[in-house]
Chains A and B, each alone.
Chain A
Amino acid sequence: MIRPEEIVCPTEAGLYCPPGGFHIDPLRPVPRALITHGHADHARPGHGAVLATRQTLDIMAIRYGEDFTSRRQIADGPLRIGDVTVSFHPAGHVLGSAQILIAPDNGPRVLISGDYCRTPNPTCLPWEPVACDIFITEATFGLPIFRHPDPLAETERLIASMAEFPDRPHLVGAYALGKAQRVIALARAAGHDAPIAIHGALKRLCDYHVEQGIDLGPLVPATDPEEARLILAPPSAFASPWVQRFRDPVLCYASGWMTVRARARQRGIELPLVISDHVDWPQLTATLQDLAPQEVWITHGTEDGLMRWCELQGLPARPLRLVGYEDEPE
């Protein structure tokens, strides 16, 4: 029977599967890549071949152009690659996001979580528990201070602020893939029917979500600052002169990092919204209990906290300390 380290091992380019001859979410161009989801730190252009969900492939094409790889393959049902069988399972993180299970014929099954979230999210399929022996997890929010509140309640705070300051446009910083569409869907669920203005950088990904059947309601470009009351933009836009067109805006930011006040203050945010598409601490620890793997490997995040928790639970764990996955695109 082969050891887990022979199935998946950390390398300079990211996680590598020797018996399958492929990388998972590689950090640099490789001959063959399996991609969990479309966030820029996981999905990079320039690989020889890419295997991912249909939506992740579409998103990569939108971001990088149709020639982001020479060969693409849609992950649909279990697939034999080299000496292993791989399958993709919903991760509940963003549209198209998946966990990847690698099963050798004779050896431990390794599940790679990618980024995942167990809070219901109208923009993607819900996370699915997958039986495994080795669980390779992210730990973006791997400290017990992270308990994300109900995202709808957070959105209601935004709606309440808009009612309190009807003359001030509310500008929400949200990552272009996933977070932006989720905030829009949440605002709709909270009863905001009026058109929502979006920064140009969000347009194509919003359109794609609509094509995929996700109702985002009326969206308008954020070119006429006089008309829009609720505007979404990528957080990076806040530091650019683009913001100057809005008169006395309330700067909001939707991210799990907004739990910590210093993070919000550092960005000059007036209304922090704790809306995350990652597992928080209770979900992360519950997942480890639910899956009950023989071993936990931690790819990236605040792994010290999760390591300590595993130690207290008597669950064997090791940090892979993969560098290159930012903690910011959240």
Chain B
Amino acid sequence: MKAFARLLERLAFTAGRNAKLTILSHYLEATPDPDRGWALAALTGTLDLRQVSPSLLRRLAGERVDERLFALSYDFVGDLAETIALIWPAVPAPGPEVSLSQAVGILRETGKLALPAAIAAMLDRLTPPERLAFLKLATGNLRVGVSARLARIALAQTGPRGVEEIEEIWHGLEPPYLPLFAWLSGGARPEPASAAPFRPVMLSTPVTPAELAPLNPADYLAEWKWDGIRVQAVAEGGLRRLYSRTGEEIGAAFPDIIEAMDFEGAVDGELLIRRGTEVAPFADLQRRLGRKTIGRVLLQSHPATLRLYDILTWEGADLRPLPLTERRARLEAARFPRERIDLSPILPFAAWEDITRLRAAPPAPVIEGVMLKRRDTPYIAGRPRGPWFKWKRDPMVIDAVLLYAQSGHGKRSGFYSDFTFGLWDGADLVPVGKAYFGFTDEELRELDRFVRKNTVQRFGPVRQVAPLLVVEVAFEGLNRSGRHRSGIAMRFPRISRIRWDKPAAEADHLETLKAML
């Protein structure tokens, strides 16, 4: 449990992706089975543990610690699990180190009635960092900033297998993943135990007109790029599963799709909200995401559909080795219930200028560009450069005023690199978003100098700057948001240009942004 506690602590304080991967892969290499498998499960969210409520934890702490001292401490620390981990009185002879497997075992197997005593007994045996790790497991909230995908990439770094290979079998495996680790160290490949497994998806790379020019348009098929969610719908052997592009199962939130998956095969496409023929904006789809169950009302008001563009298996045959044109023909020959599942149309074009025109004037706002796919390539997992291109529409831009800056981590240590910017609302500047990138290293140095010279107030690592500098912010879209003071959340904002030339008074107004919604 000590190594797992150290792992969580380091991950929680490490911001850099590469550093996180290093820490994780070292842990996975150094930790024996089955502990590392349980840790992997905890990080990828596949661990099904008995959840402990905050009120139970408070009660347990109350049995050991004076109530007033606890209240003062909680007030100081600000986090319940952390307070309990720190304040829990040490016992004279805690015994040998508890393994992560033992701790997980307690949380998996203890009955509801016996749970409080079991947790207290476990806390007695742990050191403060271990207690925090245990309580994070027990409250189901690790908060270490690691996605399931990142954990699998770290896993891939420990052995000879690529992350796509791991994702291909991932879904059929269960914690503590002994066959998986055996395979990574040279053993036999675990066969996906379950039917309807996930197949790693083929991804596109961005392209510019200059890069397209030397290519032959006749070698490519064109489709719209839909602003939905890339999914893989698999119906095999009586099982139906809907996967995100990283292999997470998301079917529970989309029973309407699952019901319509009346076929035998694996298909690739975009998940969208569609009312009649009209495809709704991404924000509508967001309302259906991340839910464990879905209400009747939302099913009616936000009906989901699949818009397919590829086919991976069909009635027992693996179609991935076939060239795209043949796969497309097989997809068009297949029958789907059309009110829920349709095909993404092929866009006719002869020259790249036709594509430029199409991209400039898409027929619906939910289209975010054009996809170009080589006719003759098989379906290749990962992101090979060449066969599939995405040519996104130009981002939206707005001129905003720099309001706050926060210092960065890792390579940006010592630089103010995380910026909050705002727009005019009458005579006030209202914060509308944050951007961490888009600028060059040289521009970062200039921004850092500006921040230091124009600081008006400091709050810990954050500096408020005089509202003098205008930055052009580029972004991919807007959502309404109750969590933002402006009522709007930007998608993928970045600083595209620093407008040293422009006076702050001439920055854009909030109404301008609202009109872009």
Q: Residues of A at under 8 Å CB distance from B? A: 143-147, 149, 157, 161, 164-165, 168, 171, 238-244, 246-249, 251, 259-262, 264-272, 302, 304-305, 308-309, 312
Contacts and interface: CB of A to CB of B under 8 A. Distances in A.
Given A248-B411, A251-B413, A265-B13, A143 B72 contact: yes
B407 A144 contact: no
B76 interface: yes
B66 A243 contact: no
Contacts of A266: 460-461
B460 A270 contact: no
B69 interface: yes
B63 interface: no
Given A144-B87, A262-B77, A269 B414 contact: no
B187 interface: no
Interface in B63-101: 65-66, 68-69, 72-73, 76-79, 82-83, 86-87, 89-90
Contacts of A144: 65, 69, 73, 86-87, 89
Given A267-B461, A268-B407, A308-B66, A260 B76 contact: yes
Contact of A260 (B19, B22, B72, B77): B77
A272 B9 CA distance: 9
Contacts of A272: 13
B393 interface: no
Contacts of B72: 143, 302, 304-305, 308
B448 interface: yes
Interface in B36-86: 65-66, 68-69, 72-73, 76-79, 82-83, 86
A243 B413 contact: yes
A259 B73 contact: no
B87 A270 contact: no
A151 B460 CA distance: 27
Contacts of B86: 144-147, 259-260
23 contacts: A143-B73, A144-B73, A144-B89, A145-B86, A164-B23, A164-B26, A239-B407, A243-B414, A244-B415, A246-B414, A248-B410, A260-B76, A260-B82, A260-B86, A261-B82, A262-B79, A268-B406, A269-B13, A270-B410, A271-B13, A304-B72, A305-B73, A308-B69
Contact of A145 (B6, B73, B448): B73
A145 B413 contact: no
Interface string B288-325: 00000000000000000000000000000000000000
B413 A246 contact: yes
A259 to B, nearest CB: 7
Nearest to A163: B26
A260 B87 CA distance: 12
Nearest to A251: B413
A302 to B, nearest CB: 7
A81 B160 CA distance: 77
Given A239-B407, A305-B73, A147 B78 contact: no
B128 A147 contact: yes
Contact of B414 (A161, A241, A304): A241
Going nearest first, the 7 A-B pairs with the smallest beta carbon separation are: A243-B414, A145-B86, A244-B414, A248-B411, A266-B460, A145-B73, A268-B461
A109 B137 CA distance: 52
Nearest to B408: A268
Given A241-B414, A244-B415, A266-B460, A143 B409 contact: no
A246 to B, nearest CB: 7
B108 interface: no
B239 to A, nearest CB: 42
Given A144-B86, A265-B13, A266-B460, 6 more contacts: A248-B16, A264-B13, A268-B461, A305-B69, A308-B69, A308-B72
Nearest to B23: A164
A246 B415 CA distance: 11
B17 interface: no
A19 to B, nearest CB: 36
B329 interface: no
A328 to B, nearest CB: 12
A149 B130 CA distance: 13
Contacts of A241: 414, 448, 452
A39 B79 CA distance: 32
B9 to A, nearest CB: 8
B15 interface: yes
B409 A268 contact: yes
B14 interface: yes
Contacts of A302: 72, 76
Contact of B68 (A164, A269, A308): A308
B193 interface: no
Contacts of B452: 241
A11 B460 CA distance: 31
B347 interface: no
B212 interface: no
A271 B414 CA distance: 16
B361 interface: no
Contacts of B410: 168, 248-249, 270
